Amino acid sequence: MHLSETVNTGFYFLAPWLVLAPVAGLLINAVFGRQLSEKMIGAVASLASGAAFVVSVLLAYSVWISHGHPVSVPFAEWIHIGDLKLDWTFRVDSLSTTMMLVVSGVGTLIHIYAIGYMHEDVRFKRQEGRFARFFVYLNLFIAAMMILVSGDSYLMLFVGWEGVGLCSFLLIGFWFEMDTLARPSWANSDAAKKAFITNRVGDFGFLIAGFLMFWYLGNSFQFDKVFEAAPAVAEATPWVVVAITLFMLLGVAGKSAQIPLYIWLPDAMAGPTPVSALIHAATMVTAGVYLVARSAPIYTLVPQAQYIVAMVGAGTALFAATIAVGQYDIKKVLAYSTISQLGFMVAAVGMGAFVAGMFHLVTHAFFKALLFLSAGSVILGLERGHHAHGHHGHGDGHSLRGKRKEGRTHGGHEDHGEVFDPGDMRNMGGLRKTMPVTFWLYMIGTLALAGIFPFAGFWSKDEILVDASLHYPSVYWQLTVAAFFTAFYMGRQVWMVFFGEARSDAAKSAQESPKVMTLPLVVLAVLSVVGGALNIPSIKEIGLKGPHQLTHWLSYTLGEVESLPLNLGVAGISTALALLAIFISWLIYGRNPLKTGQVDPLKRPLGFIFTGMENKWFVDEGYGVLIITPFRRISQFLADVIDWRFWHDFVHDTVIAGTYNWLSRIVLDRYADQKGIDTFFNSWGSFTQWLSGNVRQIQNGFVRSYALSVLLGVVLILGYLILK
Amino acid sequence: MVPVDYYIALSAILFTIGALGVLSRRNPLIIFMSIELMLNAANLAFVAFARVYQTFSGQIFVFFVIAVAAAEVAVGLALIVEIFKTRKNINIDEMNSLKG
């Protein structure tokens, strides 16, 4: 077969180690986690992830030397029913290796960062025993994500899809018995459940899409077979393909946090910051983008669906960007920013600009991971400052156990009048001086996200905007406005966090993070700066013929893709808008830094608009009124009226138990048992008594009468014998 | 020679007398004697048939019967003595402690 000879010329046989390496890491940590030191645990987990990265690099190299020839590496038989064969096969091509590189590369850096971050986090929360568990989950995530991106069928993709959903749930609820301020509460586990349940709605869409696909497109889940069957079906019954793509869009909306299912992602910030960076910014949430890009041959068949996808993405990009403007939590701003940037990607892949979408996915993974991890560094810096400064004031305010005890005796932590929130930007300010390394890293991430030349975000965002300006003007305008807001809220954040005066004692005595945390950030920062070089476009105006490396690379998988040159107009407008936005944000937040306790200066001029932004446009409340309350009412009705009163009280208690009781008491007990069976046996008893009473008369005790009986008996027997 | 029928008849008569004695008399000593009478009636029949069939087994049987009867009388008389000692009376009609 063709396969075997290609396998011989590359490193394809290593593909299963993408999954096996992290699984080995998680097994080691799960079994020996209690015995190992924190450094060992972190090293094992990082090495496991790093091994996956090495494998990814080797696979990408193999694809490169074979000129992008896609290879399927069979690994395990899974389900064989008659002719139906569903196997676990790895698909190695340029698209999947791109994802593998991002996932394992960024993942490894975040693993290393997490060694430092979790070291302190578990101590602030007084739960040192959970250190190993965190890395077990993290490795499990890498394994699941690898299954997702390396599967050669929608089924394996779905296995990974669910796996990362599980890891997301586990990690959002990592501090499940406290809220983000470490007070005893179920807020974090509620956030985890919200993420899981919202994703379930999306997964329902994915499942329906999968079923339809299996039924109508070639009775297979395999990418190649589905794509082969799709064009004929699109010709004959286009609604099928439209339905598949739109149901798939629902799955994408769930996993990649798009309207209407994005609501879980901001709450997911309850997880430790490395989780927010790895899962909820860089990798898992981009799975939806990958899914659309992977399904490119289906999506391109139905322009109507593509248009809807693009509109959803663009709408999300703009909508989430406006909410980010009104947030105060450093991670919440980044969360809405992530939703917004995912909107860019979804819009891109919706428009058919798959390369632009994937390009933005890669660069976004760099700079958003950088931003999140830097934000984690800021939060820990404040936490350190808080502890260094206020050790006597707050006691062991961050000990959960201590607080519970305290809560019983004198009313808990809240009685102290304030709970220090190290993630609230209103508590920050002036961190430029106390945390210089983090500050510079954050600046790089900010400029990359805002799309300032020549940082990575500029190139990838611009590619999307160019494509949109050519094909979908409405998407273009929405994305451009979103880009303006992006630069604005990032500017606001930087001014609030790093400039001005410290607005809390903790911010005043904040401390820089250790090297184990900052070094991975430096790597990410470098990537955020030079990431744009992955896909250098042509610039006609100066006669530059760009190599379009990523376009070329992905065209191995996606087919020939149009490589658009840089449009100086589009790039100029977006850069100008970004600079303008940063300037405006300086006017508002930079020139007159926020004072302690001051209301956001935007609140007065914008009025209710800012209130909307602050409160996420009341979407959660709207869902509460529209879906959750009716849902609860229906469940209440079903539980109370249908199940309890009708089913339990009436059907079971009255009808079934009542009939049974009546039957047993009246019919069986009184008539059958008492009258029938009892009478019969009692009669036998009294008959026997009567008989024995009579018979005992014979036994009178006189030997002579016995002798007479014997004689008579003998006479009778003899008489019978003689007369016979 | 006396025919065997006569012996049998005599044996039957003796046995009947013995049986009637056992059933009708009230004195246990008389009853014992009647029992002896019945045993000897049987013995008579044994020897009569032994003679008819010219074999010794009947005669040997009689020896056993005489031995058993002697033992029986010894036990029986001892019982009667004991009963008399306890009840001062050996009237057979008053001995019904076997009554069920």
Which residues of chain B does A699 touch, with a Cβ-Cβ cutoff of 8 Å? 98-100
Is pLDDT above 80 for A282?
yes
Q: In this predicted model, what pLDDT tens digit does every residue of B73-99 receive, in sequence order? A: 999 999 989 988 988 888 887 777 777
Residue of B nearest to A704 (CA): B23
Residues whose CB is less than 8 angstroms from the CB of residue A509 and which lie 6 or more positions away in sequence, other chains included = A385, A388, A389, A434
Nearest CA in chain A to B26: A704
Domain with B47, as residue range(s), is: 4-89
User: In a mutagenesis test of the A interface, which of B15, B17, B96 is the best target, namely the one with the most A β-carbons within 10 Å?
Assistant: B96
Smallest CA–CA distance, residue B20 to chain A, in Å, is 9
Provide the CB-side half-sphere exposure for A107 (13 A, CA). Answer: 33
Q: What's the whole-number mean pLDDT along residues A300-319?
A: 93
- B7/A152 Cα distance (integer angstroms): 121
Model confidence at A83, pLDDT cuts 50, 70, 90, reads confident
Domain assignment present for B64 = yes
Residues B19, A703: C-beta atoms closer than 8 Å: no
Closest partner residue to B92 (CB to CB) among A700, A704, A708 is A704
Residue A721 C-alpha, separation from nearest chain B C-alpha, in angstroms? 17
- For residue B57, being part of any structural domain is answered with yes
pLDDT tens across A663-719, in order?
988 888 888 888 889 999 999 999 999 999 988 888 888 888 888 889 899 999 999
Task: Please give the Cα distance from A280 to A192 (Å, whole number).
Answer: 12
Whether A164 and A279 have beta carbons less than 8 Å apart is answered as yes
Q: CA-CA-CA-CA torsion for B48, B49, B55, B56, nearest 10 degrees? A: -50
Instruction: Tell me if A346 sits within 8 A of A318, measured CB to CB.
Output: no
Look at A655 and A613; give whichever has higher pLDDT.
Answer: A655
pLDDT of residue B92: 80
Distances (CA, A) of A167 to A108, A196, A205, A221: 16, 10, 20, 24
When CB atoms are compared, the residue of A699, A700, A707 closest to B23 is: A707
Q: What is the pLDDT of residue A613?
A: 82
Q: Considering the domain boundaries, does residue B53 fall inside one?
A: yes
CATH of the domain at B38: 1.10.287.3510
pLDDT number for residue A8: 56
Taking CA atoms, A695 is separated from A264, A685, A688, A690, A713, in Å, by 94, 15, 10, 9, 17
3-class secondary structure, A300: coil
Residue A703 has a pLDDT of 80
pLDDT for A44-76, tens place per residue? 999 999 999 999 999 999 998 888 888 888 998
User: Which residues of B are less than 8 Å from A701 in CB distance?
Assistant: 95-100
Structure-token pair, residue A286: 């981009």
The SS3 of residue A221 is coil
In a domain, B99, yes or no: no
Name the A residues in 664-703 with CB < 8 Å from any B CB: 696, 699-703
Cβ–Cβ below 8 Å for A703 and B92: yes
pLDDT score of A396 more than 60: no
Q: Is the pLDDT of residue A401 over 80?
A: no
Confidence of residue A201 (pLDDT cuts 50, 70, 90): very high
Report pLDDT for B26: 85
In sequence order, what are the residues at sequence separation of 6 or more whose Cβ sits closer than 8 angstroms to the Cβ of residue A301?
Answer: A230, A231, A234, A238, A241
A394 has pLDDT over 50: no
The answer to whether B22 contacts A707, with C-beta atoms less than 8 Å apart, is yes
B23, B93, B97: which to substitute to probe chain A, counting the most A Cβ within 10 Å? B23
pLDDT digits (tens, 9 = 90+) for B11-25: 999 999 999 998 888
Residue of chain B nearest A693, judged by CA positions: B100
State whether A711 and B95 contact (CB < 8 Å). no
> How many CA atoms does the CB half-sphere of A574 hold within 13 Å?
32
A400, pLDDT greater than 70:
no
- Name the residue of chain B whose CA is nearest to A708's CA: B23
CA–CA separation, A582 vs A114, rounded Å? Answer: 31
Residue B80 located in a structural domain:
yes
Interface probe, candidates B30, B95, B97, chain A, greatest A C-beta count within 10 A: B95
Q: For residue A76, what pLDDT is reported? A: 87
Q: Model-level pTM greater than 0.90? A: no
Cβ contact, residue pair A701, B95, below 8 Å: yes
Give the C-alpha separation, A299 to A305, whole Å: 7
- Judge whether residue A410 has pLDDT over 50: no
Q: How far is A667 from chain B (nearest CA, A)?
A: 45
Q: How confident is the model at residue A418 (pLDDT cuts 50, 70, 90)?
A: low
The C-alpha of B32 sits at a distance from chain A's nearest C-alpha, in angstroms, of 12
Do the strands A71-81 and A84-92 form a parallel or antiparallel pair, or are they unpaired?
A: antiparallel
Q: How confident is the model at residue A92 (pLDDT cuts 50, 70, 90)?
A: very high
Residue B99 has its nearest CB partner, among A699, A708, A711, at A699
Residue A703: list chain B partners with CB under 8 A: 92, 95, 98
CA-based nearest distance B24→chain A, Å: 8
* pLDDT, tens digit, 9 for 90 and up, residues A102-137: 999 999 999 999 999 999 888 888 888 889 999 999
> How many CB pairs lie under 8 A apart between chains A and B?
28
Residue B95 lies in a domain: no
Across the interface, whether the CB atoms of A702 and B22 are under 8 A apart is answered: no
Query: Does A714 contact B at CB distance below 8 Å?
Result: no
Q: What is the pLDDT of residue A390?
A: 66
Query: With 70 as the cut, is the pLDDT of residue A461 above it?
Result: yes
Residues of B with CB under 8 A from a CB of A: 19, 22-23, 92-93, 95-100
Q: What is the pLDDT of residue A502?
A: 86
Considering the domain boundaries, does residue B96 fall inside one? no
d(CA A44, CA A28): 8
| CA A209 – CA A215 distance, rounded (Å) | 10
Chain A residues in contact with B98 by the CB 8 A cut-off are 699, 701-703
For residue A293, CA distances in Å to A223, A297, A351, A357, A656 come to 12, 9, 11, 8, 58
Q: Is the pLDDT of residue A524 over 70?
A: yes
Q: What is the pLDDT of residues A217-252, one digit of tens each?
A: 888 888 988 998 889 988 888 899 999 999 999 999
- Structure confidence at residue A444 (pLDDT): 94
A702 chain-B contacts, CB cut-off 8 A: 92-93, 95-96, 98
Split into its structural domains, chain B has a count of: 1
Whether the CB-CB separation of B70 and A678 falls below 8 Å is answered with no
Nearest alpha-carbon partner for A128 in A114, A115, A118: A118
For residue A711, the chain B residues in CB contact (below 8 A) are 19, 23
**Cβ–Cβ below 8 Å for A704 and B22:** yes
What's the rounded mean pLDDT across residues A332-356?
A: 93
pLDDT in tens, A146-196: 999 999 999 999 999 999 999 999 999 999 988 888 888 888 999 999 999
For A701, nearest residue in chain B (alpha carbons): B99
Cα angle: A277, vertex A286, A547; to 5 degrees: 105
- Search chain A and give the residue with CA nearest B25: A704
Give pLDDT tens digits for A466-502.
999 988 899 999 999 999 999 999 999 999 999 988 8
Least confident of A12-21, A290-299, A517-526, A540-549: A540-549
ipTM of this predicted complex? 0.82
**A14 touches A63 (CB < 8 A):** no
